[in-house]
Each structure stands twice: as C-alpha cells, then as structure tokens.
C-alpha cells in the first residue's frame, strides 16, 4: 500500500520551500491565482517522497528499514515542480536520497534568506554559500554524452554555490575536455567523475598523461585552452594535482581553505620552515607518481627569503616537475618576485 503524505504536511513542505521547486536553479514558483474563482489557486508543485512511498518494480529509492509513518512523514518529503518531481522519480542512480535531502535543506535555507532580505531567487541562491559539496560519483560514457553527464553531476552537487559560478563553469569546461581527450586520445575504456565534500576527482585507465604538460606547448585545442583558462584566472586559489597510480590517471581539483588542507590533500608536498629555509640544502624524495611538487612555504615569507630559497635550495631550481608554491600572508610584491625566480610555478594562496 502506498504511504501518502497528509494534506497538511504537503502544505508545510510547500510553505517551507517558499513554494519554489527544490531542484537547484529551477526557481519555478509553484502556486499562483486561478481565474475560475477568487477562492482557488493554481499549483504546479508536488510533494515528492525521497524514499519511495511504495515497493515494487517501478519504485525509486526504496528503504525497507523505515516504518510506514516515517515513509509518510514530512521528513521524507521534498517540494518540487511537476517537471522535476517526475524527473527525480525516473533515475534513482542520479538522484540519490542523500542528494535530495541536501537539496531540500538548501532550498529551505534559500526561502528563509529571501524572507529576511527580500532578494530574488538567483541572488539568494548564490548568497547561500555551502561549506561542502554534495557527494556524487558517476561512470562517464564515451561520446558526446559525456558533456551532459559532467554538466549534470556538477549541477547536482551544487558546485557553483560552494565555489562560485565562474570558477565552476571553468572547471566544468576543463573536465569535459580532459575526459574526452582521455577517452579518445588516451584510449581509456573507463572514466569516472567523483565529487566528495571538498574535491572533484577524475579517474581514467588511459595512457599515462600529465595535464600540465599542455601548458608548455603552443596549441589552441580545447584541452590546452581550457586548462590555461582555469589556471590563468584561478591559479591563486585552485589546488590541481595529477598522479599515475598503477594503471589509473587521477586528477584532483579542490579549493583548500588552509595549509593543513594542502598537506592532507597530497603526498606530493614539501613543507619548509624558516629554519630549513635559512639552513639550506633541502632534500626530499617524493613518489615517482607525483607530477607536481607542492612546496609549502612559511607564513609571512618576505623578499629576502626568496634569495635564501634560490641560493640555498638548488633542488627546486633543478626540479623537473611542476612546482606549486603554497603561501599564506604573503604580499603581492613577494609573489611577483617569486614568479620571476620560478617562471613556470603556480602560486596557491591559503589561510594559515
């Protein structure tokens, strides 16, 4: 038997969402006047079950651990427009319960924010900053369908709310080009996109490939241009690393909030304190799979420290891999001189 919501709970779901569909960026107002009568309204909204209201072959997101009361309870509901309400009931692999619960919370936050500020939906949507991404993992198809699958996954994980629209669109374009090249030119037979709470990861089983090698060639293809656009615009905030792990290429993108996030995010890093900086003769041994070296410099690194870095640590000047200097509380003047000394480096700014 189907476990339907009470009518009063449907109304509360609609009201808590501000009568706006919970599908990210939909912004459809689901209720308005009805011309037949002043006592009627027209609704294009629906209260949808996150876990299925009934069992059966066509049921989506079933959960046999829930009681009938829990299935029919307001906590298991999400307010959607008719179009997106039908959509989430056609694909339970894409629209997971965890994802829908997060969409519901986000939409209710947007409704509260709009009530407090009077902002329109789009402004409120971008103003509600997320502290973490919505988790998602998909197998990517060969062919041009990969564009839509990556675009949908990034949308569904609400990346733009966490990282901003321009950065998200630039990352999306680069990922599409990267995966298409892996499948076509790298001869990969499998490629996966994984989005966890803080990272976007692409894995493929194609030929060994270093994305940053595109930066030193004079090409105007999609892969090269999209990577250059990403690093030219956002190099100071984006963590981008690539490794070959056994037979798999692994590309990782994140926006680290502090030095600790970088140190925990990669084994391909070297941390230098002021003592090591001035003593000299830095030594390190990284995994052969590392394609970048993340050099974590001490906080408040200044101009004279660059001289020590170049004079007493020749290993960095001789480094063949890509160098990413991770800095905190370092002036623009110091950053410019650092780039003069190491022209091919990336400078990543984080909080201490």
User: Tens digits of per-residue pLDDT, 100-143?
Assistant: 999 999 999 999 999 999 999 999 999 988 989 999 999 999 88
3-class SS shares of the chain: helix, strand, coil, % to 5: 40, 20, 40
Q: Given the DSSP bridges, would you call strands 292-296 and 322-327 parallel, antiparallel or unpaired?
A: parallel
How many CB atoms are located within 10 Å of the residue 62 CB?
A: 16
Structure confidence at residue 273 (pLDDT) = 93
Structure confidence at residue 157 (pLDDT) = 97
Structure confidence at residue 107 (pLDDT) = 97
Q: Which of these, 96, 257, 58, 71, lies nearest to 163 by C-alpha position?
A: 257
Q: Which of these, 159, 196, 153, 157, lies nearest to 176 by C-alpha position?
A: 153
Structure confidence at residue 40 (pLDDT) = 87
Contact 135, 195 (CB under 8 A): yes
Structure confidence at residue 57 (pLDDT) = 67
Structure confidence at residue 280 (pLDDT) = 84
- CB-based contacts of 257: which residues, under 8 Å, 6+ apart? 350, 351
Structure confidence at residue 316 (pLDDT) = 92
Distance CA 128, CA 165 (A): 13
Three-state SS at 235: coil
Collect the ranges in the chain with pLDDT lower than 50: none
Structure confidence at residue 213 (pLDDT) = 93
Structure confidence at residue 137 (pLDDT) = 96
Structure confidence at residue 3 (pLDDT) = 85
Three-state SS at 292: strand
Structure confidence at residue 332 (pLDDT) = 96
């Amino acid at each position: 038997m189907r476990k339907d919501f009470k009518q009063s709970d449907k109304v509360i779901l609609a009201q808590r969402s501000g009568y706006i569909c919970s599908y990210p960026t939909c912004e459809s107002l689901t209720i308005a006047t009805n011309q037949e009568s002043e006592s009627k309204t027209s609704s294009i909204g629906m209260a949808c079950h996150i876990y299925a209201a009934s069992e059966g072959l066509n049921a989506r997101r079933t959960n046999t651990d829930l009681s009938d009361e829990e299935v029919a309870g307001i906590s298991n509901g999400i307010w959607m427009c008719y179009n997106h309400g039908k959509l989430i009931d056609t694909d339970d692999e894409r629209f997971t319960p965890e994802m829908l619960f997060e969409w519901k919370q986000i939409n209710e936050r947007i409704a509260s924010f709009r009530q407090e500020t009077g902002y329109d939906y789009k402004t409120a949507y971008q103003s509600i900053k997320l502290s973490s991404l919505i988790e998602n993992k998909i197998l990517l198809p060969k062919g041009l369908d990969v564009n839509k699958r990556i675009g949908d996954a990034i949308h569904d994980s609400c990346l733009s709310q966490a990282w901003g629209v321009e950065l998200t669109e630039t990352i999306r374009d680069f990922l599409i080009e990267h995966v298409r090249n892996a499948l076509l030119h790298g001869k990969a037979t499998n490629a996966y996109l994984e989005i966890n709470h803080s990272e976007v990861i692409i894995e493929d089983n194609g030929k060994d490939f270093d994305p940053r090698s595109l930066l030193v060639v004079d090409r105007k293809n999609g892969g090269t241009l999209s990577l250059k656009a990403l690093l030219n615009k956002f190099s100071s905030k984006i963590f981008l690393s690539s490794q070959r792990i056994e037979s798999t290429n692994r590309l990782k993108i994140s926006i680290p909030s502090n030095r600790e996030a970088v140190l925990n995010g990669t084994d391909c890093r070297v941390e230098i304190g002021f003592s090591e900086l001035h003593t000299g003769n830095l030594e390190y041994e990284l995994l052969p799979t590392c394609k970048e070296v993340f050099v974590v410099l001490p906080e408040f690194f200044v101009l004279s420290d660059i001289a020590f870095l170049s004079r007493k640590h020749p290993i960095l000047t001789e480094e063949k891999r890509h160098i990413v200097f991770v800095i905190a509380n370092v002036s623009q003047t110091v950053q410019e001189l650092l780039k003069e000394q190491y022209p091919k480096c990336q400078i990543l700014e984080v909080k201490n």
